[in-house]
Every structure is written in structure tokens, then in C-alpha cells.
């Protein structure tokens, strides 16, 4: 399986770091903010990082189609089969614009509807999280866009009681607040982008409810890291979150249902 190949894994780590370098070149200067057809923001960082990632994936795995956010926004949506990549060149563009550091470069590989490999790089923080189903997850410290250290990570076991619940900085909803209210005494941790999955993968949080819109490229990489670390991502009905085109036209075929990500099984509540 390509997702489990060590050489490909290390090459994708290098690609993710290269994309993060491009993102930081924009972040450290003045940049304009545009808006796409769905009113979501986009900057030159999104566009340039996606160019870097797509070029590398075309070289490394030309046989695997890539569903990438900015390409899809421009109507370039490939036909996918059993294997495909999901790419979000800057997840957390609102965090990028506000310069709070909670944005990531995301590359996820899906096999038969399951995210089996994920790379989540927060270049402003120097943190890269990576995972492969069956082979575990790790945290890499990045200094000057080079790997300086790496360590294995896993979810907290057992989960803390009351749980530590992650809440989105930019996308909190009343339904999310209703979910949180089911856990009296829970501590809340605010975080942006796919870092929420990674904090659970590292044992630093227990639950992440998302009762609001997300796309598959937002979640696949972080989902893979979390699953590789021993966690799970489930729909509100309890099924594993699945990947691949579903109902809807165009980009809407890659919309996620509401979900709850779990770093470890919480002993009470939903």
C-alpha cells in the first residue's frame, strides 16, 4: 500500500515542509485577502502552497488523483477511485489572516474511504504531526524548515474525566455548545484548524465536536493522524467518518457530515 511506504512517507514530510516555507514567506509580509464564490477567504499563501504540493505529488505518485481545495474552488475536480489525496494548502485561513499561528498545511491519503496517512504542519509553530494507520503517529519539531527532533505520540488512555474538549476558534455553533453542555465540568481548549485533531493525537485533549460545515480536505490529514495515534472520528450517528465523493454537485460532493473526534473513549455522555 503506497500510504505505508517509508520512502513516500518521508518524501511527503519534505513536501509538507516545503509548502510551509512558501506559506511563511507570505505570512511574514503584507498580503491581500480575496474571497471565493462561497465567501471564504483565500490568500496568495493558499495558492502558492498548493502549487508546491501538486507538483510534488505529480512527481511522487502520478497515478493517484489529488482533490485540492483551491483547484476544486476553480472547478478542477478530478475523478477519484480507490486511492486519492486530499489537500488543504492552508487550513485555518482565518487564523492565518489574524496571524495567531493556528493554521496548517494538510496532506491526507485516502484508501477505500479511510484516511490512512496524514501530515499536518503548523509552520508558524514549528510543529508537524504525521501518522500512518497501523504504524503509529509522531510529532516532528521543525527548526528553520528542517526536522530537528521527532517522537512518537498517542492518545490519552484513559481519557481525562471530566474531558478536555476542543472548540473551534472561528466556527463555534449553538449545536456544539449543546454537546459541550452534556459534560459538566469539562475544560475547554480553543484551537484552530486541524491542530485540534493533533492535540488529541498527542494526548493533550479528549473530544472535538464539530456540529458545523467542514470539507473532507479540512479533516482527512488530521483524522489520519488521530486514528494512527489510537483515536477515532465518528459521525453523530456513531459511524466512522468516511471519505470520497458523496451526494451533491461539484465541491459539495466533498462536504462532511457533523462529527465528533475522540482522542480516547470518554466514559460518559454521547
Q: Which residues are annotated as a binding site for substrate?
A: 69, 90-93, 218
Q: DSSP for 207-253? A: EEEE-S--BHHHHHHHHHHHHHTT-EEEETTSPBP--S--SSSGGGG
Annotation: binding site for Mg(2+): 69, 88, 90-91, 218
Strand 104-111 versus strand 127-132 pairing type: unpaired
Annotation: binding site: 69, 88, 90-93, 218
Give the separation between CA 134 and CA 111, rounded to whole angstroms.
13
- Tell me the sheet residues that pair with 160: none
Please tell me what DSSP assigns to residue 185. Answer: T
Cell of 58: 505529480
Cell of 182: 452534556
**Quick count: other Cβ atoms within 10 Å of Cβ 5?**
14
* Nearest partner of 87 among 169, 6, 15, judged by Cα: 15
∠196-201-204 over CA atoms, to 5°?
70
Residue 5 has phi, psi (to 5 degrees) of -75, 125
Exposure on the CB side of residue 118, measured as CA atoms within 13 A: 34
Cell of 188: 475547554
Beta strands in 48-98 (DSSP E): 66-68, 83-91
Amino acid at each position: 500500500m503506497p500510504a505505508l511506504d517509508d520512502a513516500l512517507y518521508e518524501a511527503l514530510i519534505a513536501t509538507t515542509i516545503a509548502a510551509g516555507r512558501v506559506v511563511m514567506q507570505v505570512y511574514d509580509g503584507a498580503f491581500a485577502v480575496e474571497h471565493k464564490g462561497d465567501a471564504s477567504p483565500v490568500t496568495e499563501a493558499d495558492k502558492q502552497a498548493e502549487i508546491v504540493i501538486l507538483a510534488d505529488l505529480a512527481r511522487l505518485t502520478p497515478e493517484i488523483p489529488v482533490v485540492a481545495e483551491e483547484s476544486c474552488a476553480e472547478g478542477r475536480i478530478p475523478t477519484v477511485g480507490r486511492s486519492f489525496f486530499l489537500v488543504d494548502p492552508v487550513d485555518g485561513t482565518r487564523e492565518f489572516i489574524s496571524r495567531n499561528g493556528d493554521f496548517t498545511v494538510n496532506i491526507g491519503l485516502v484508501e477505500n474511504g479511510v484516511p490512512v496517512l496524514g501530515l499536518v504542519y503548523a509552520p508558524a509553530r514549528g510543529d508537524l504531526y504525521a501518522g500512518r494507520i497501523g504504524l503509529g503517529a509522531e510529532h516532528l519539531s521543525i527548526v528553520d524548515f528542517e526536522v530537528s527532533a521527532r517522537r512518537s505520540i498517542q492518545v490519552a488512555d484513559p481519557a481525562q474525566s471530566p474531558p478536555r474538549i476542543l472548540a473551534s476558534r472561528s466556527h463555534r455553533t449553538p449545536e456544539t455548545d449543546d454537546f459541550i453542555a452534556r459534560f459538566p465540568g469539562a475544560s475547554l481548549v480553543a484551537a484552530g484548524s486541524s491542530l485540534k485533531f493533533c492535540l488529541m493525537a498527542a494526548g493533550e485533549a479528549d473530544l472535538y465536536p464539530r456540529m458545523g460545515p467542514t470539507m473532507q480536505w479540512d479533516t482527512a490529514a488530521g483524522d489520519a493522524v488521530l486514528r494512527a495515534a489510537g483515536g477515532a472520528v465518528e459521525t453523530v450517528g456513531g459511524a466512522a467518518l468516511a471519505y470520497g465523493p458523496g451526494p451533491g454537485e461539484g465541491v459539495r460532493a466533498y462536504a462532511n457530515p457533523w462529527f465528533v473526534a475522540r482522542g480516547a473513549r470518554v466514559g460518559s455522555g454521547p
